[in-house]
A and B are shown apart, each in its own frame.
Chain A
Amino acid sequence: MPKITFIDSAGTARDVEAEQGSTVMESAVRNGIPEIEAECGGACACATCHVYVEPDWLEATGKAEPMEEDMLDFAFEVKPNSRLSCQIKVRPNLDGLTVRTPSRQG
């Protein structure tokens, strides 16, 4: 199973085993990763699963779709590498993916 690393706003890294076909958000929630709220449960409707994708991984994760960009307007401290983790599907090429979580989701 692909491994994903979440680094929280204080710098603590946590590795989780992610199921292929699930989303990065689901992998976080299932493993109790802090700083991911996912209030709407993955409907791309709340912007509370905001993450920063580490620069090396931007190509593999791809860009946000227009609907996700719209929803990112509701997130805070949005950066060029901001994504909503419910919209990143876990694929074999994401093994080793590292994302950072913001100190506040909303």
Chain B
Amino acid sequence: MTETITTDVVIVGAGPVGLFTVFELGLLDVRVHMIDILGKPGGQCSELYPEKPIYDIPGFPMVTGQGLVDNLMEQCRPFSPTFHYGEMVESVEALGDAISPRFLVRTDAGQVFDTKSIIIAAGGGSFQPKKPPIVGIEQYEGKSVFYAVRKMDAFMGKKVLIVGGGDSALDWVLNLHSLAERVTLLHRRDAFRAAPHSVNAMRDLVASGSMDLLLGQITSLKGAEGQLSGAVVKHDDGTSTEVDCNVMLPFFGLTMKLGPIADWGLNLHENLVPVDTEKFETNVPGIFAIGDINTYPGKLKLILSGFHEGALAAQKVTRYVYPEKRVTFQYTTSSTSLQRKLGVA
């Protein structure tokens, strides 16, 4: 059991809006722990369009998704937030009241946070593996169909079918072929997005007869009670073959799902979280929602709107964290106290 972390705020989502809010909270002396399901900061900016130019960030005629994230990381560095990557918040338990909120936040990695407030900056929701639309695939999920590999040993002596053409698919082909009884890679075409050296290594294994490569798409699965026994594959020429397998690993990239946020007792409107426009607080005092995940009259899903929302939410969070303190408004251009916090005075 990992130790409970006590903090002022937990921010759910390390995208641009979450990162800038760390900065705003830092100026107000509020301690932050960030949680993100991805393995790195930046959310959609770094996962979906790292190289794409963004033209509507004030003061930047053009900045790439990754460039913006790198700058935001630099900007919030003086406040050394703690990042918890690769974790998803599963549950939120309210302990306090409307005057002094307090929550227990639990992640799927078993980490527990005892926090005074929560800021949801989860964008379009959490990135989760795409599931192929194969009829009845649900009954195999978690038993013989897996979207991620947790323990390699589980595949020892198995006939493994890996589906996809990117790095995840190829990496697991290379990692599992010696451990599994047989590995078959299935991809829709004879071209692969994965790193060329992985593709070459895979082709060598196929040439030496150590594994199989099949081109086509799955049309149905065979098996019973969650145990897969085969997959029917349709090829480009219209013919079908059946692959003998007892485990399948499909790698079709990521998609965004609202996920467990739906169960935290918040009002929802079309998968968005309604907030007020003074504090960007939800119907639960102490839980805020900023960025693409919130909704209010006139809402625009722009990164710049998220920055504004984060700055205002930070003011209210500070009142929960320091109820006795008078919060004075200051500018970073002129306040020595803010400049000391930033390490420039």
B49/A73 in contact, CB under 8 A: no
Rounded to whole angstroms, the CA-CA distance of A12 and B126 in the bound complex is 32
Q: With CB as the reference atom, state the residue of chain A lying closest to B301.
A: A41
* A contact residues, total (Cβ < 8 Å): 19
A46 to B314 CA separation, bound complex (whole angstroms): 32
Interface of B is mostly: loop
Residue A85 CB within 8 A of the other chain: no
Chain B residues contacting A72 (CB-CB under 8 Å) are 188
Residues on the A chain within 8 Å of B255, using CB: 39, 46, 48, 106
User: Does A17 lie at the interface of the complex (its beta carbon under 8 Å from any beta carbon of B)?
Assistant: no
Q: Which residues of B contact A76 (CB under 8 A)?
A: 132-133, 217, 252
A69 at the interface (CB under 8 A from B): yes
Residues A45 and B124 in contact, CB atoms below 8 Å apart: no
Of chain A, the residue at the smallest CB distance from B132 is A76
Give residues of chain A (67-82) contacting chain B, Cβ–Cβ below 8 Å.
69-70, 72-74, 76-78, 80
Q: A73-B193, A78-B217 are in contact. Are A43 and B52 (CB under 8 A)?
A: yes
Give chain A's interface secondary structure class. loop
Q: Which residues of A contact B193 (CB under 8 A)?
A: 70, 73
A101 CA to B130 CA, complexed, in Å: 18
Residue of A nearest to B187 (CB): A73
B189 lies within 8 A of chain A by Cβ: yes
> Counting CB contacts under 8 A, is B26 at the interface?
no
Chain A residues with CB under 8 A of B252: 73-74, 76, 106
Evaluate contact between A104 and B133: CB separation under 8 angstroms.
yes
For the complex, is B44 an interface residue (Cβ under 8 Å from A)? yes
Residue from the set A46, A77, A103 with the largest chain B CB neighbour count within 10 Å = A46
- Determine whether the beta carbon of A74 is less than 8 Å from that of B124: no
Contacts known (A39-B256, A48-B255); A78 close to B133, Cβ less than 8 A: no
Assess whether B253 is interfacial by the CB under 8 Å rule.
yes
**Min CB gap A44→B, angstroms:** 9
Please give the distance in Å from A50's CB to the nearest CB on chain B.
12
* B188 & A78 in contact (Cβ 8 Å cutoff): yes
**In B158-199, which residues have CB < 8 Å from any A CB?**
164-166, 187-189, 191, 193
B130 and A40 contact, CB distance less than 8 A: no
Which residues 206-241 of B have a CB within 8 angstroms of A? 217, 236
Q: Distance in Å from the Cβ of B68 to the closest Cβ of chain A? A: 14
CB proximity of A30 to chain B, nearest CB, Å: 15
Interface string of B283-299 (1 = CB under 8 A from A): 00000000000000000
Give the residues in chain B near A43, CB-CB below 8 Å. Answer: 48-49, 52
Interface string of A26-52 (1 = CB under 8 A from B): 000000000000011001011110000
Q: Is the CB of B48 within 8 A of A73?
A: no
| Closest chain A residue to B163, Cβ basis | A73
Q: Across the two chains, which residue of chain B brings its CB closest to A104? A: B133
* Given contacts A69-B191, A106-B130, A40 and B48 within 8 Å (CB-CB): yes
Q: Are A40 and B44 in contact (CB under 8 A)?
A: yes
Distance in angstroms between the alpha carbons of A43 and B44 in the assembled complex: 11
Given contacts A77-B217, A106-B130, contact A47 B189 (CB under 8 A): no
- Most A CB atoms within 10 A — which of B48, B132, B166, B236? B48
Q: Which residues of A contact B236 (CB under 8 A)?
A: 80
Nearest residue, chain B, Cβ from A78: B188
Residues on A close to B: CB < 8 A? 39-40, 43, 45-48, 69-70, 72-74, 76-78, 80, 103-104, 106
Question: Lowest 10 CB-CB distances: which A-B pairs, in order?
Answer: A74-B253, A43-B49, A45-B48, A70-B193, A104-B133, A40-B48, A106-B255, A106-B130, A73-B165, A43-B52
Contacts A47-B253, A74-B252 known; 15 new A-B pairs at CB < 8 A: A40-B48, A40-B49, A43-B48, A45-B48, A45-B49, A73-B187, A73-B189, A73-B193, A74-B130, A76-B133, A77-B133, A78-B217, A103-B133, A104-B133, A106-B130
**29 pairs from A and B in contact (CB 8 Å cutoff):** A39-B124, A39-B255, A39-B256, A40-B44, A40-B48, A40-B49, A43-B49, A46-B48, A46-B253, A46-B255, A47-B253, A69-B189, A69-B191, A70-B193, A72-B188, A73-B187, A73-B189, A73-B193, A73-B252, A74-B252, A76-B132, A76-B133, A77-B133, A77-B217, A78-B217, A80-B236, A106-B130, A106-B252, A106-B255
